[in-house]
Amino acid sequence: QLNGMDDALRNSIWNLLLRFYDSGAWGYISRIAGDGFFKFAVDKIPTGNDTARAWFRNLFFALPWNRVYDLVEFLCLKSPNVRGVSAESMRRSLNLVLERECSGYRFIGDILAPISDELEVVSVEDSLEKAGRLRFIGAAEHIRSSAQLLSQKPVPDYRNSMKEAISAVESVAKQLAGKTSG
pLDDT of residue 67: 92
pLDDT of residue 66: 86
Q: Is the pTM of this model over 0.85?
A: no
pLDDT of residue 63: 94
Mean pLDDT over the full length of the chain: 79
Contacts of residue 41, Cβ cutoff 8 Å, sequence gap at least 6: none
**154 vs 95, higher pLDDT:** 95
The mean pLDDT value for 17-25 works out to 80
Q: Is the pLDDT of residue 107 over 90?
A: no
Contact by Cβ (8 Å): 68, 97: no
Q: List own/partner pairs for 136-139 with CB under 8 A and 24 or more apart.
A: 136/171, 136/172, 136/175, 138/168, 138/171, 138/175, 139/168, 139/169, 139/171, 139/172, 139/175
Beta strands in the chain (DSSP E): 105-108, 111-114
Q: Cα-flanking dihedrals φ and ψ of residue 78, to 5°? A: -100, -15
Sign of the four-CA dihedral 23, 108, 122, 5: positive
Predicted confidence (pLDDT) per residue in 138-155, tens digit: 777 777 777 766 666 666
**38 vs 175, higher pLDDT:** 38
